[in-house]
Amino acid sequence: MVAKELYFLRHGDTGLHGRYIGSTDAPLSESGIEQVRKTARLLQGKDVEKVVCSPMLRCRQTLEQLYLPCTCQFNELLREVDFGRWEGKNFSEIVKIDKELVDSWVIEPDIFSFPGGESLVAFRNRIAAFKALLENMAEDSILVIAHGGIIRHLLCLLLGLDSDKYLVFDVKPGCFCSIRLFTEGGVLTGFNIKG
The CB density around residue 149, as the number of other CB atoms within 10 Å, is 18
pLDDT tens, residue by residue, 156-187: 999 999 998 999 999 999 999 999 999 999 99
Domains of the chain, start order = 4-82+119-193 (3.40.50.1240)
What average pLDDT does the chain have? 96
pLDDT tens, residue by residue, 141-163: 999 999 999 999 999 999 999 99
- Compute the radius of gyration of the chain from its Cα atoms: 16
pLDDT tens, residue by residue, 15-29: 999 999 999 999 999
pLDDT tens, residue by residue, 96-110: 999 999 999 999 988
pTM for this entry? 0.96
What are the backbone angles phi and psi of residue 96, rounded to the nearest 5°?
Answer: -60, -40
Q: Residue 146, exposed/middle/buried by CB under 10 A (0-12, 13-18, 19+)? A: buried
Buried b (16+ CB within 10 A) or exposed e, 79-116: bbbbbeebbebeeeebeeebeebbeebeeeeeebbbee
pLDDT tens, residue by residue, 45-65: 999 999 999 999 999 999 999
